Structure 1
Amino acid sequence: MDFSFSSNTPRRAPDAITAGTTLRGARRDAAILVTGAGGEMGHGLLESFASERRERAAAGETFPAVIAIDLRELPESHRSLCDEAFTGDVCDEKMLERLLASYEIGAIYHLAALLSTRSEFVPEIAHGVNVGGTLNLLRIAAEEAANNGRPVQFFFPSSIAAYGLPDLDAKSAAGPVDEDRFLQPHTMYGCNKIAGENLGNYYAHHYRKLASDRMEFPVDFRSIRFPGIISADTVPSGGTSDYGPEMLHAAARGESYACFVRPDARIPFMTMPEAVAAIRGLMAAPRSELSRVVYNVQSFAPSAEEFLLEVRKHFPDAETGFEPDLARQSIIDSWPASCDDATARADWGWSPTYDLASAFDDYLVPRIRARYES
């Protein structure tokens, strides 16, 4: 991806686009915006940008400022990787306008969201945050595109929660599910992800369709439907797909664990480093080579029992049993056992780094052991 866009004197977008906004500063620094930067995916992206900046500096090249937003103040480990950090809500339009007074945004990585389990307890709030926040950022991307005369890249992390298979028989018969089937999610989080995908496609291809002065392709929207993500560096926080990493972390701590799904429950997973690499890979791909805006990716798809067997190879004394929670199990049953990622492989060269065994051997177990032994 070419980040070498330059700052210039912005042109005011048409009034139909910029109603309610202020004219932005005559000189603004070129920037990448990362929302939800306080999470591990955000941290991984910030580290990736910092590494690229060092490489470019060594070659005498420039790199845009990296601006972070999170609802909570970023820890120093994150703050040190970005040029400026804002504490606030992506639904706060005034905060976003203050940010835009100083920075010309060329790319947005919109990671901020209310996650799946919490969203089921407060679905209306989840919709406001997950859809309203996404709409705010897409509007800003379109305004920046009009001001600066070029599209703004926009990354949106979607989820396997976007799927909704009707029952276990359909799940068994479906095989690897592509991006266009079974899009009737059973959770508010999944509904929000589908809404975000559709809004992104609208801003990319149909924004202000009837306006005579409409800009063609203002937002270069790209999205990945992530499977369950496993990290060695973050303790799971009760997400619907966290039964795998929860049993692994519990075993490493020497604690017992009651898995909330059946032994035969199956969904796809990938590691956090692979997720970050997938984001960078998709965003670096030439737009002309992309056949769609939303892509599946996955690395391995074990059953819960197969995951436990791998845990016990490394932690033989792991005390893990199965105590299915019917409500959470029903959500897992509505997600594909495997996702078809052939289009991502063909369009932008996606390829997983790990299978289940190598993920444990080369990434998860060494780092988790070091975490708890220290």
Structure 2
Amino acid sequence: MPLSFHLPPNARILITGASGYLGQALVKALALCAPSAWQWVLTDTQCIEGTHSGANARWVVGDLSNASVGDALFEQPVHAVVHLAGVMSGRAEQDVKLGERVNLKASLDLLARCRDQYRRGGPLVRWLMTSSIAVYGTPLPNRIDDGTPLRPSLSYGTHKRMLELMLDDMNRRGDLDGRAVRLSGVVMRPALPNGALSGFNSDLIREPLSGKNYVCPVSPDARIWLLSLSAATAHLLRLLGMDRATWAQTMGPAATCALNAPTWPVTVHEVLQAMARIDPRAPQRVQFDPQPDLEAQFGAWPLDVSFALAQQLALTDERETFQYDLSAFIRHLAQPVILT
């Protein structure tokens, strides 16, 4: 479906977490397809060299929980916010205060600034945030669809669910055009510690196909959900550009503002089989040391899924893109590291 943006031609777009794995990809994609008159405000705790430094981009480097950073971000009217910043699952479990300060306090402050801007007569902000399938918690059901109950069992998932509810309330009041897309494990992340407990999804693919041995923290029967970086970026582009009427009509007046991004549910054993068709020796480089708690939270996702809302909104389903050929999908993910 052709990409269109139902925002003013001179819109001012704020992207948080712009130096992150997903943030960098989104900024690069938007630089290629967004209207040239858009103004960019990019923020993170550090500025990665090469992450969009054009004349229409402004960087604000700092901690979002710092009021002076928020003041700088909203010193001019903002038309849209893509909120990607956050403390990931493992780190949020280890450092409760940090997780609450970044994931909740900073996010709620940004939302309050959006509401205040609108109530003062400024633009209604289109807020798009990445939520997470961590909102489901454990024990996981045998099937997940758009109506599955949400019972987060990690602080990270709880933070995301609380923000979803806040978006629902602000949407109800007419103070925001709020949208949230729940992502599963985005692969392949670089081999850098980012605090994501689901990072083994990327390691499982990257390490064996680059010729390295890997100890997998879940069993061969573990069930994981995979989503490529390119598809995650496409989801964000689609939802950022979508007109408000289409979004509201699909989600319904009483529905949540959040939907599940289509993902590829597979077992670890199936991933190994797919890698074997790329490099027959790759599965031999994998050993298993299952961690029961980790597997219960991140390796027990149901294979029975439905992404009806996402399909209605024309979000990419990579199973269809790759004609249900998992090996082709894995090759797409791992192309930069596959041994030749």
**TM bucket normalised to smaller:** 0.7 to 0.9
Q: Kindly provide the amino acid, as one letter, of the partner of residue 123 in structure 1.
A: V
Partner of 1:3: 7
What displacement does 1:255 show? 1.4
Alpha-carbon distance in structure 1 between the residues aligned to 2:125 and 2:176 = 5
Partner of 1:89: 63
Deviating beyond 6 angstroms after TM superposition, the runs of 4 or more aligned structure 1 residues are none
Partner of 1:106: 79
Secondary structure of 1:302's aligned partner: strand
What displacement does 1:139 show? 0.8
- CA 1:335 to 1:127, structure 2 compared with 1: closer, same or farther past 3 Å? farther
Deviations 1:79-121 (A, max 9, x none): 43661111111111222112322x3210001111000111111
Secondary structure of 2:168's aligned partner: helix
- CA 1:99 to 1:156, structure 2 compared with 1: closer, same or farther past 3 Å? closer
Aligned with 1:131 (options 104, 108, 120): 104
* 1:344 maps onto 2:318 in alignment: no
Aligned with 2:134 (options 151, 156, 161): 161
Contact 2:136 2:152 in 1 (8 A): yes
- CA 1:331 to 1:236, structure 2 compared with 1: closer, same or farther past 3 Å? farther
What displacement does 1:335 show? 4.5
Deviations 1:193-228 (A, max 9, x none): 10111111112113xxxxxxxxxx121000111111
Note the 1:206-225 alignment, pairs <5 A.
206=173, 217-225=174-182
Partner of 2:223: 266
Partner of 1:328: 294
Aligned with 1:357 (options 323, 327, 331): 327
TM-score by structure 2 length? Answer: 0.87
Partner of 1:182: 149
Percent identity (aligned): 24
- CA 1:339 to 1:282, structure 2 compared with 1: closer, same or farther past 3 Å? farther
Alpha-carbon distance in structure 2 between the residues aligned to 1:44 and 1:144 = 29
Contact 2:224 2:266 in 1 (8 A): yes
Partner of 1:314: 278
Larger radius of gyration: 1
Deviations 1:38-97 (A, max 9, x none): 1121111111221124xx45xxxxx2211111012x122214366111111111122211
Contact 2:135 2:150 in 1 (8 A): yes
Alpha-carbon distance in structure 2 between the residues aligned to 1:94 and 1:179 = 39
Contact 1:268 1:339 in 2 (8 A): no
- CA 1:299 to 1:339, structure 2 compared with 1: closer, same or farther past 3 Å? same
Aligned with 1:276 (options 217, 233, 249): 233
Alpha-carbon distance in structure 1 between the residues aligned to 2:304 and 2:90 = 21
Give the gaps of 5 or more residues in structure 1: 7-29, 58-62, 207-216
Deviations 1:146-195 (A, max 9, x none): 2344311001101111102436xxx3xx32x1233231111111111101
Alpha-carbon distance in structure 2 between the residues aligned to 1:305 and 1:195 = 35
- CA 1:38 to 1:2, structure 2 compared with 1: closer, same or farther past 3 Å? same
Alpha-carbon distance in structure 1 between the residues aligned to 2:310 and 2:236 = 11
Alpha-carbon distance in structure 1 between the residues aligned to 2:74 and 2:334 = 43
Secondary structure of 1:112's aligned partner: coil
Alpha-carbon distance in structure 2 between the residues aligned to 1:148 and 1:368 = 51
Alpha-carbon distance in structure 1 between the residues aligned to 2:128 and 2:107 = 11
- CA 1:333 to 1:367, structure 2 compared with 1: closer, same or farther past 3 Å? closer
Aligned with 2:268 (options 296, 301, 304): 304
Alpha-carbon distance in structure 1 between the residues aligned to 2:204 and 2:300 = 22
Partner of 1:23: none
Q: CA RMSD in A?
A: 2.2
Give the gaps of 5 or more residues in structure 2: none
Partner of 1:368: 337
- CA 1:93 to 1:43, structure 2 compared with 1: closer, same or farther past 3 Å? same
Note the 1:219-234 alignment, pairs <5 A.
219-231=176-188, 234=190
